[in-house]
Structure 1
Amino acid sequence: MGVIVLMLTACSNLTAPSMVNNPPANLMQPCPDLPVLTASTGSDVLLWSVQTVYLYRDCAARHQGLIDAIEQPE
């Protein structure tokens, strides 16, 4: 009976990757709110779209970094 208990406890040891428990702090930052377009001139739309694309790409890169950190093999 003792052998069975030892065999069962050996099967129950699951180790989680260390990155899942402690991801890098820079990857855990929330995404900023995207700016709201308040004017309708071409210049305002252009500036708004450039700023929005920059913020979106920065946030997407951090999220991809978090995914990569979690899926990283040990």
Structure 2
Amino acid sequence: MRRSILLALAASAALTLTACASGGPRTMAPTLAPPAARMAPCPPLPQPGSGSLTDLLANHVAVAKVYHQCRDRHQGLIDWLKVTEKESM
């Protein structure tokens, strides 16, 4: 009698555990690709032509321009990610 109860409990546990493995097919999240323009690496910073004050000032302006363009591109990628995240929820 006791053996049949243990056998029934073991069979019940085995059937319960195998039920978890028989779920439906897995679903995959869609792959999102950010805009290619937002993924481009930042260009190298320009170097001054000489140590003269005029060249150094012109180089400072050129470096600032490259920095701001790269910052804007990076911010565009962040904005795209935020919008994409909100849409996927």
TM-score by length of 2: 0.60
Match of 1:69 in 2: 80
Equivalent in 42, 46, 51 of residue 35 of structure 1: 46
The alignment yields a C-alpha RMSD, in angstroms, of 2.5
Matches within 5 A, 1:1-74: 6=23, 15=29, 21-72=32-83, 73-74=86-87
Gaps of at least 5 residues in structure 2 are 1-15
**Mapped partners of 2:72, 2:27: distance in 1:** 34
State the identity %.
Answer: 33
Q: 2-side partners of 1:70 and 1:58: how far apart?
A: 19
Q: Which runs of 5+ in 1 are unaligned?
A: none
Q: Give me the TM-score of the superposition, normalised by structure 1.
A: 0.70
Q: 4+ residue runs of structure 1 moved beyond 2 angstroms?
A: 1-6, 12-16
Return the structure number with greater relative CO, CA threshold 8 A, min gap 6.
Answer: 1
Equivalenced residue count is 68
CA distance in 2, matches of 1:61, 1:3: 52
- Superposed CA offset, 1:43-68 (max 9, x none): 10111001000000000100111011
